Chain A
Amino acid sequence: MPSLPREINFSIQHLERIVAHLKQMRLETNAYCVLLADQNGQLIESVAGENAPNTDEISVLAAGELAATREIARLLGEARFQFLLHEGERKNIYLSDVSGEMMLITVFNRKAPIGLVRLWTRNISKQLDHIILEARTEEQDNQALDDTFSQLVLDRLDRSFWQ
Chain B
Amino acid sequence: MFINRRKKELNLKIVYYGPALSGKTTNLQRIHAQTRPNLRGELISLKTREDRTVFFDYLMLELGAVAGLRPRFNLYTVPGQVYYASSRKLVLRGADGVVFVADSHPQRMKANREAMMDMQKYLQELGYNPATVPLVVQFNKRDLTTAMPIPALRSTLQLNGQHLCFEASAIQGQGVFDTLRAIIKKVMVQVQGNLQASAASRG
Residues of A within 8 A of B (CB): 1-5, 7, 9-12, 15-16, 19, 38, 40-45, 54, 56-57, 60-61, 64, 67-68, 71, 139-150, 152-154, 156-158, 160-163
- Which one of B7, B42, B44, B195 lies within 8 Å of A144 (CB-CB)? B195
| B residues adjacent to A (C-beta < 8 A) | 1-7, 11, 13, 31, 34-36, 39, 41-42, 44, 46, 55-56, 58, 60-61, 63-64, 66-67, 69, 71, 74, 86, 90, 93-94, 126-129, 132-133, 177, 180-181, 184-185, 188-189, 191-192, 194-196, 198-199, 202
- Nearest CB in chain B: distance from A47 CB, A: 12
CB distance from A24 to the nearest CB of B (A): 17
Q: Find A161's partner among B35, B94, B132, B189 (CB 8 Å cutoff).
A: B35
Distance of B125 from chain A, by nearest CB (Å): 11
Further contacts, 6 of them, CB under 8 A, given A2-B129, A153-B66, A154-B181: A142-B199, A144-B196, A145-B192, A153-B188, A157-B63, A161-B36
Chain A's closest residue to B10 (CB) is A145
Q: How many A-B residue pairs have CB under 8 A?
A: 133
Structural contact, B5 and A56, CB atoms closer than 8 A:
no
Q: Complex: how many Å from CA A161 to CA B30?
A: 10
Q: Are B133 and A1 in contact (CB under 8 A)?
A: yes
Given contacts A42-B11, A156-B66, contact A11 B5 (CB under 8 A): yes
Given A15-B5, A56-B60; A149-B192 close (CB under 8 Å): yes
